[in-house]
Structure formats: C-alpha cells, structure tokens
C-alpha cells in the first residue's frame, strides 16, 4: 500500500517556535467570558462557552494524536462517552463525587485505549482511521444496549457531581472556571510533553518511523502511550461534558461527534495545541450562528466544511503563524 | 423450532452480507485504484433507497422505479466526483475523510429537506411478495430470496468483469501501479471516473433493493458504510474476493450473533441477565471479529498484491 502521508504538513511544529502570544490571548479572553456573559443571556452564553471549553479539551487531546504522533483516530468520541457514562452510571448507583467518577473514567479510558490501541496501532494510515471508527461505533452500540442505563434514549443526571461532598459545581460560572482550569492545566502539561524527549520521539515516528526504528526507538510503544494519554484526556472531557449537559446518551459518542472533533483540531491548525482550542471556538460558533438562521443549517455547514478542507490548509494558526 | 429459526437467520445473514458486499465493493475498488477513501459512500446507499422509493411512487411500479433510480444514482455519484472528490485525490487521507464527511453532512440534510425526517416505506413489488417454502414448513419471503439472488448475480458479474475482461485488467493494473498504467497510455482519470460511477451505482442499487424491507431514512447510510469499512478491513483493502468473503462473514456474524449470543449465555446466566448481556454483546461481535482478524493478519485476510 502506498504510504501517502496522513497529515497536511504542519508549517513548523510548535516546539520549534514556542508561541506564547496567541495562547495567552486565547486563555485571557476565555477567562473574561463570564464577565461578558450577561450581555447575551447569561445561562445561554455560559452553557455554550462551557461546551466550547469542554470540547476544546477533547480536540486538544486529538491534536496530540494527529498533530504530533501523526495518528488519525476517528473514534475519539468513544472516550468522551466513557467519561460521560462514568458520571451517568456512577450517579445512578449513588456515587456522585466527581473525584471518584473521574478516577473511574480515567481508568476505563486508559484501559480502553490500551486494548484497542494494541490492535489498531499495528496498522497505519487509512486502516487506522477505519479501525478507530469501528471501535468507536462498537462503544456506541454497547451504550445503546445498556437498557438499565437509558439504552437508546440516554438518561438524565440527577444533578451535577459533588466535589468532595460539596456542590461546588452547582453554579454555571463555577463549572465554567473548573472546565477552563482543567483545559489550561492539560494544555500546559501537553506543551511540556511534546517538548520533552517523549514528544520528540513521537514527532520523529510521525516524520519517519523507519528511521526512528533504525536509531533505536520502537514506534509502537510511544504511539500506544500517546494514544492512551490522548484517550485519558478525552475521557476527562467526557466527565465535564456530562456535568455540562446534565444528560448522557449514546449520541455523546456518535461517529459524527468523532468527525466534529477531528474538524475542530484541523480547523485550528494541527500540531500547535492552542490551534485545537481556536478551532473548537470557530467550529461551534459557526454551528451556533448558522443554527440561528435556519433549522436546515447543515445544508450550509456541509459545504463550509468541504471548502475549509479544500482551501484553508494549515488552519487558523496557519493564518496567524505566518505573520509571526 | 430452533433449527428452522437458525435456517432463517442464516438466510437473513447471507442477505445482509450481500447488501454489505454491494456497498463495500465500490469502496474497495475506488480505494484500490485511486487510493481515495470515501466516507460519503454510504450516502449513495441512502440516496439509492430514497430514489427507489420516490420513483416507485411516481411510476407506480418498483421495477420502473429501480430502473430510474440506478442511472440517477450514477449521475449523482459522477457529479460529486466532478465537484468535490476529484480535487482530493492528491490530498492526504485525513483531508479526504474530512471533506467527504462534509459531503455526508450536506446530503443527509438535503435528503431531510426533500423527503422529511419521517422514514418512508414502500411496498414489496407484487410479483415478489409472499413467501416460499424453503424446508418442511419453513416459509421465507420471496423478496429476500430475490435480494440474495441479485447480490450473488452482481458478485459473479464483478468477478467476471474484474478478472476476465480488458477493463478489469486495467482496473487491476491501476490498483497495483497507477502511474505505470498512465505512462502506458491509458487515461487513468477516465478509468477512475468509470470505477467511481460504477461503485456509486452499486451502493445505490443496494439501497434501492433494501428500500422495501427497511425504513428509508436520512441516516440509513451511516451504519452501513461503517460496517462496509469493517468488511474491507477484514477482507484486505482493494481485494474483491476478500471483500466478498468478509461481507458474508460480517453479515452472518452480525445477524446470527443477535440470535446465538443470548441463547449461549442462557447456559451460564439466568435468562433475564443472559438476554440483557446478549443484547449488549451481539452488536459488538463484528468489531471483535475485526480486531481478532487484524491481530492475526494486520493487512486483512486477502491483501491485494501491490
């Protein structure tokens, strides 16, 4: 099989030009959102922006995988679903503390990533896309079959998770800032990770796996660890997502959601981490604005996505990056 | 009782497998020749079903409806190739997946706008309605037998075309080394457009054939195309023979799994838990099958020679 690169080449990998201006501005603006929220219907703005921040966390995890490791996962929504169902199932069983819920979500995400990754990462390129898609679909059907936990229809959560017994997340602003803090922490962590030896080896396996092997690095282990880290972060996003929506259903892990997540990462520009955040903002804003005009907004959104792929190579950070 | 049910389930699995084969064949040929991954292939299946439903209602006859639906599906496939897909051949697989994802978003919404969200249903053609006795006292719908026959017929046709005609030779040559075929003076673009249109029509045909037995709805192509991906991954991308066998395997495992898994679990669990667990496990079997196949043979059962 011809080995066409799976990636649009990132202009320069972010670790070569550690941009700080764009991420500082992005996080600064995100931190100010609650102040501006009363201008546009507070509950609506806060719920929308919390969704943006949570999905940005998932898109960020995908950027690690696609942008740095060169591995396209089309089943990443499965991890969101694992996180969301950890909250849903545990709350239904009476465990409402977010610490316990997160611990379970992260452990299950890591286990799922290691098991499916061990199979999927034996392949590359287009096979990997199809296999991750299939594993994502498998989790979707599993969730649909959980008759005790809502089945196809999903289930409504009794309320937001508690933090060590206190309902700190009850306020919309509190939830938003918690989500933003998680996003910021993970962002900084991943930046350190991609600049570390591990990150460089990972980028090396993306550029040329054979050469990396020749100088003594077995790509499989690095890829599997990257896949697991990415899955765990997306699982954490799922925990927050369940708290934001108050509702868990198989639709959380539909394959369209996986496609959306890849789009968010690609729209922002792969291989920069903060690009994924910008991409998520752009993607969800476009969706939200179009949906305001017509219920058939997808008829415009579809061509918008096609044109974005055809003409906006390098994504949003590509636009900013060239000027810097 | 149980064996007759098993027999019927096997036939249903066979029928489902052949439908999967019709969808997967186009997908694997297109990938084999042009290294192009088309997520929107399932949309062709959905469009075929809608066209068959719409034209059948218009002409009052399923046969005429089918006859009108096939060329229309072909034209829609070719228009998409011309407008979108053609610009993606030189791009990465990631770009191809994303752009064809956009095509799905667009066409699914278009179907919703034209035909509404309510599922359509059309009647089984009168000549093929009713049942035949396949074994002592076991009745099976004639129409499903017709689907099996049509699927086997198309499979045979594909086998003959790909392996025993000049066109098929070019397709196989294109799959193993497209630049060389092009250098020898074959218009590879034209060849590909042909393969693409043919694949789109096959998927449309599959959709049209199932329209009378399934509900026709905008998202019906999604699950089928993902299963078609599973099929070509198991079969080995680019191989028609592998796709055929894998399609039957997936069709049988998926259909029989729903019937056998709860029955087997009843041996070890109490009936309620068994049926509950069985229903959860059955839809996963196909994916577990895929994982197991890949674990043993990472390139699928019959990887096309390169």
- Determine the residue among A306, A311, A314 to mutate to test chain B binding: the one whose Cβ has the most chain B Cβ atoms within 10 Å: A306
pLDDT tops 60 at residue B11: yes
**Binning pLDDT at 50, 70 and 90, where does residue A110 land?**
very high
Tokens of B11: 């036939």
The C-alpha atoms of residue B76 and residue A264 are separated, in whole angstroms, by 29
pLDDT tops 50 at residue A324: no
The predicted model gives A252-264 an average pLDDT of 91
Q: Do the domain assignments include residue B189?
A: yes
Q: Which helix (H) or strand (E) holds A247?
A: strand A247-248
Q: How far is CA A52 from the centre of its chain?
A: 11
Tell me which of A231 and B120 has the higher pLDDT: A231
Say what the ipTM of the complex is.
0.84
The C-alpha atoms of residue B225 and residue A301 are separated, in whole angstroms, by 22
Taking the CA of residue A6 and the nearest CA in chain B, the distance in Å comes to 5
b/e B215-242 (16+ beta carbons within 10 angstroms → b): ebbbbbbbebbbbbbbbbbbbbbbbbbb
Q: Which residues of A touch B103 (CB under 8 A)?
A: 302, 306
**Binning pLDDT at 50, 70 and 90, where does residue B304 land?**
low
- Determine the residue among A129, A130, A135 to mutate to test chain B binding: the one whose Cβ has the most chain B Cβ atoms within 10 Å: A130
- For B235, the 3-state DSSP assignment is helix
Q: Do the domain assignments include residue B102?
A: yes
Write the DSSP assignment of B203-218 as a string of letters.
HHHHHHHHTTTS-B-T
Residue with tokens 């649909």: A144
Q: Which residues of A touch B239 (CB under 8 A)?
A: none
Tell me which of B32 and A185 has the higher pLDDT: A185
Q: Do the domain assignments include residue B273?
A: yes
The C-alpha atoms of residue B86 and residue A83 are separated, in whole angstroms, by 39
- Determine the residue among A7, A129, A309 to mutate to test chain B binding: the one whose Cβ has the most chain B Cβ atoms within 10 Å: A309
pLDDT single digits (tens) A208-256:
888 888 888 888 999 999 999 999 999 999 999 999 998 999 998 999 9
Query: Quick check: A66 and B94 CB within 8 A?
Result: yes
**Binning pLDDT at 50, 70 and 90, where does residue B140 land?**
confident
Q: Do the domain assignments include residue B228?
A: yes
Contact A246, A157 (CB under 8 A): yes
Query: Quick check: A144 and B222 CB within 8 A?
Result: no
What residue numbers bound the domain in which B237 lies? 2-296
The predicted model gives B152-160 an average pLDDT of 90
List B216's β-bridge partners, or say none. B120
pLDDT tops 70 at residue A12: no
pLDDT at A9: 47
CATH code, B262: 1.10.3470
The C-alpha atoms of residue B13 and residue B20 are separated, in whole angstroms, by 10
Neighbours of B150 (CB within 10 A): 17
**Binning pLDDT at 50, 70 and 90, where does residue A189 land?**
very high
Tokens of B265: 């679990």
List A163's β-bridge partners, or say none. A166
Q: Do the domain assignments include residue B60?
A: yes
Tell me which of B60 and B245 has the higher pLDDT: B245
User: Which member of B99, B233, B283 has the closest CB to residue A309?
Assistant: B99
The C-alpha atoms of residue B92 and residue B107 are separated, in whole angstroms, by 23
The C-alpha atoms of residue B89 and residue B38 are separated, in whole angstroms, by 10
User: Which member of B91, B287, B295 has the closest CB to residue A134?
Assistant: B287
Q: What are phi and psi of B76, to 5 degrees?
A: -60, -40
User: Which member of B105, B110, B291 has the closest CB to residue A305?
Assistant: B105
The C-alpha atoms of residue B4 and residue B136 are separated, in whole angstroms, by 9
**Binning pLDDT at 50, 70 and 90, where does residue A114 land?**
very high
Closest alpha carbon to B192 in B159, B170, B177 = B170
The predicted model gives B230-234 an average pLDDT of 90
The predicted model gives A109-123 an average pLDDT of 92
pLDDT tops 50 at residue B72: yes
Taking the CA of residue B81 and the nearest CA in chain A, the distance in Å comes to 13
Tell me which of A320 and B242 has the higher pLDDT: B242
pLDDT tops 70 at residue A4: no
Q: Do the domain assignments include residue B284?
A: yes
Domain total of chain B? 1
Query: What percentage of chain B has pLDDT greater than the value 90?
Result: 28
Tell me which of A39 and A273 has the higher pLDDT: A273
- Determine the residue among B31, B43, B97, B285 to mutate to test chain A binding: the one whose Cβ has the most chain A Cβ atoms within 10 Å: B97
pLDDT tops 60 at residue A2: no
Q: What's the mean per-residue pLDDT of chain B?
A: 86
- For B185, the 3-state DSSP assignment is coil
Closest alpha carbon to A132 in A206, A65, A58 = A65
The predicted model gives B30-45 an average pLDDT of 86
Q: What's the mean per-residue pLDDT of chain A?
A: 85
| 3-state SS string for B103-172 | HHHHHHHHHHHHHCCCCECCCCCHHHCCEEEEECCEEEEHHHHHHHHHHHHHHHHHHHHHHHCHHHHHHH
Contact A121, A220 (CB under 8 A): yes
Q: Do the domain assignments include residue B251?
A: yes
The predicted model gives A175-190 an average pLDDT of 93
Handedness of CA A311, A317, A321, A323 (dihedral sign): positive
Query: What number of CA atoms fall less than 13 Å from residue A217's CA on the CB side?
Result: 19
Q: Which residues of B touch A308 (CB under 8 A)?
A: 102
pLDDT tops 60 at residue B16: yes
Q: Which residues of B touch A255 (CB under 8 A)?
A: 222, 226
Q: Which residues of A touch B35 (CB under 8 A)?
A: 2, 4
Contact A169, A205 (CB under 8 A): no
- For A51-194, strand residue ranges (E) read 155-156
Query: Quick check: A145 and B295 CB within 8 A?
Result: no
Tell me which of B294 and A262 has the higher pLDDT: A262
Closest alpha carbon to B232 in B193, B290, B292, B191 = B290
The predicted model gives A87-114 an average pLDDT of 92
pLDDT at A16: 44
Q: Which helix (H) or strand (E) holds A118?
A: helix A98-120
pLDDT single digits (tens) B177-223:
888 888 888 888 888 888 889 889 999 999 999 988 888 888 888 88
User: Which member of A6, A144, A308 has the closest CB to residue B94?
Assistant: A6
The C-alpha atoms of residue B213 and residue B266 are separated, in whole angstroms, by 31
List B133's β-bridge partners, or say none. B139
User: Which member of A116, A127, A306 has the closest CB to residue B233?
Assistant: A127
pLDDT tops 70 at residue A11: no
Domains of chain A plus CATH, in order, are 22-31+44-323 (1.10.3470)
pLDDT at B14: 92
pLDDT tops 80 at residue B60: yes
pLDDT at A319: 64
Q: What are phi and psi of A162, to 5 degrees?
A: -90, 155
Q: Do the domain assignments include residue B82?
A: yes
- For B304, the 3-state DSSP assignment is coil
The predicted model gives B52-74 an average pLDDT of 90
Query: Quick check: B222 and A123 CB within 8 A?
Result: no
The C-alpha atoms of residue B70 and residue B93 are separated, in whole angstroms, by 29
Q: What angle do CA A36, A40, A42 make, to 5 degrees?
A: 75
Closest alpha carbon to A272 in A7, A58, A18 = A18
pLDDT at A321: 53
pLDDT at A320: 59
């Amino acid at each position: 099989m011809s080995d066409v690169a799976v990636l649009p080449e990132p202009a320069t990998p972010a670790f070569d030009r550690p941009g700080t201006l764009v991420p500082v501005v992005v996080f600064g603006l995100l931190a100010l959102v609650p102040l501006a929220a009363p201008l546009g219907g507070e509950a609506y703005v806060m719920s929308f922006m919390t969704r943006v921040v949570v999905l940005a966390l998932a898109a960020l995890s995908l950027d690690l995988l696609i942008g740095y490791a060169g591995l396209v996962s089309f089943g990443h929504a499965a991890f969101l679903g694992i996180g969301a169902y950890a909250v849903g199932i545990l709350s239904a069983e009476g465990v409402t503390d977010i610490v316990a819920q997160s611990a379970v979500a992260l452990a299950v995400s890591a286990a799922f990533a290691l098991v499916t990754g061990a199979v999927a990462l034996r392949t590359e390129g287009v096979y990997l896309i199809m296999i991750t898609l299939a594993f994502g679909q498998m989790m979707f059907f599993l969730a649909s079959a959980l008759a005790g936990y809502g089945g196809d229809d999903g289930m409504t959560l009794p309320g937001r998770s508690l933090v060590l017994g206190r309902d700190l997340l009850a306020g919309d602003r509190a939830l938003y800032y918690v989500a933003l803090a998680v996003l910021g922490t993970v962002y900084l962590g991943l930046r350190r990770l991609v600049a570390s030896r591990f990150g460089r080896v990972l980028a090396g396996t993306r550029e040329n796996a054979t050469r990396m092997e020749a100088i003594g690095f077995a790509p499989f282990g690095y890829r599997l660890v990257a896949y697991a880290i990415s899955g765990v972060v997306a699982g954490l996003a799922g925990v927050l997502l369940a708290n934001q929506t108050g509702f868990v259903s198989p639709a959380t892990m539909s394959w369209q959601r996986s496609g959306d997540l890849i789009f968010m990462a690609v729209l922002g520009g792969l291989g920069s981490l903060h690009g994924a955040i910008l991409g998520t903002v752009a993607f969800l804003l476009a969706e939200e604005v179009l949906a305001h005009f017509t219920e058939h907004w997808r008829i415009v959104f579809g061509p918008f996505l096609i044109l974005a792929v055809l003409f906006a190579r390098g994504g949003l950070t590509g636009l900013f990056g060239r000027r810097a | 009782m149980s064996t007759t049910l098993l027999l019927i389930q096997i036939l249903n699995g066979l029928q489902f497998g052949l439908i999967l084969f019709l969808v997967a064949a186009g997908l694997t040929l297109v990938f084999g020749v042009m290294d192009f991954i088309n997520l929107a292939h399932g949309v062709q299946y959905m469009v075929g079903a809608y066209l068959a439903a719409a034209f059948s209602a218009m002409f009052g006859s399923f046969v005429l409806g089918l006859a009108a639906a096939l060329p229309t599906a072909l034209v829609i496939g070719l228009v998409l190739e011309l407008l979108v897909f053609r610009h993606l051949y030189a791009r990465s697989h990631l770009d191809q997946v994303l752009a064809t994802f956009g095509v799905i978003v667009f066409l699914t919404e278009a179907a919703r706008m034209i035909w509404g969200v309510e599922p359509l249903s059309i009647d089984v053609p009168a000549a093929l309605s009713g049942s035949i006795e396949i074994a002592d006292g076991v009745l099976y719908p004639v129409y499903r037998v017709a689907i099996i026959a049509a699927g086997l017929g198309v499979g045979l046709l594909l086998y003959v075309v790909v392996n025993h005609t000049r066109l098929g030779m070019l397709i196989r040559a294109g799959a193993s080394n497209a630049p060389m075929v092009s250098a020898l003076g074959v218009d590879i673009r034209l060849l590909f457009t042909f393969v693409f249109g043919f694949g789109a029509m096959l998927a449309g045909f599959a959709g049209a054939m199932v329209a009378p037995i399934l509900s026709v709805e905008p998202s019906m192509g999604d699950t089928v195309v993902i299963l078609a991906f599973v099929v070509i991954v198991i079969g080995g991308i680019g191989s028609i023979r592998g796709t055929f066998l894998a399609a039957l395997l997936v069709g049988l495992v998926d259909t029989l799994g729903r019937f056998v898994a709860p029955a087997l679990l009843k041996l070890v669990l109490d009936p309620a838990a068994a049926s509950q667990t069985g229903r959860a496990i059955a839809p996963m079997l196909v994916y577990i099958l895929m994982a197991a196949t890949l674990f043993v043979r990472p390139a699928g059962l019959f990887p096309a020679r390169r």
